[in-house]
């Protein structure tokens, strides 16, 4: 459930294409050595106003920028 919510956050806030959202979460998880479900929880919490740890924020921004947005353009971090 949390992963689905995190995918919704990525789609809404970062204009990530739905198919790319899971890859973003997976990549952040791998690059930070944090379990995917924990990364998903952090993304959902961020949408609710909490800060992300700096390494997670950095990796998330980089992963989003590497993936196309819903319109085919690169994703945009917000």
**The model scores a pTM over 0.85:** no
In a domain, 20, yes or no: yes
Each residue's pLDDT, cut to its tens digit, for the chain (78 residues) gives: 899 999 999 999 888 887 799 999 999 999 999 999 999 999 999 999 999 999 999 999 999 988 766 554 544 554
In a domain, 8, yes or no: yes
pLDDT at residue 12 in the model = 92
In a domain, 22, yes or no: yes
Tell me how many domains the chain contains.
1
Three-class HEC string of 1-56: CHHHHHHHHHHHHHCECHHHHHHHHHHHHHHHCCCHHHHHHHHHHHHCCCCCCHHH
Instruction: Look up the domain containing 44 and give its range.
Output: 2-66
């Amino acid at each position: 459930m949390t992963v689905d919510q995190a995918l919704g956050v990525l789609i809404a806030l970062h204009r990530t294409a739905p198919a790319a959202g899971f890859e973003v979460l997976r990549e952040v998880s791998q690059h930070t050595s944090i379990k995917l479900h924990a990364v998903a929880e952090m993304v959902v919490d961020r949408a609710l106003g909490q800060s992300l740890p700096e390494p997670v924020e950095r990796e998330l921004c980089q992963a989003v920028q590497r993936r196309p947005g819903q319109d085919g353009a690169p994703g945009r971090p917000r």
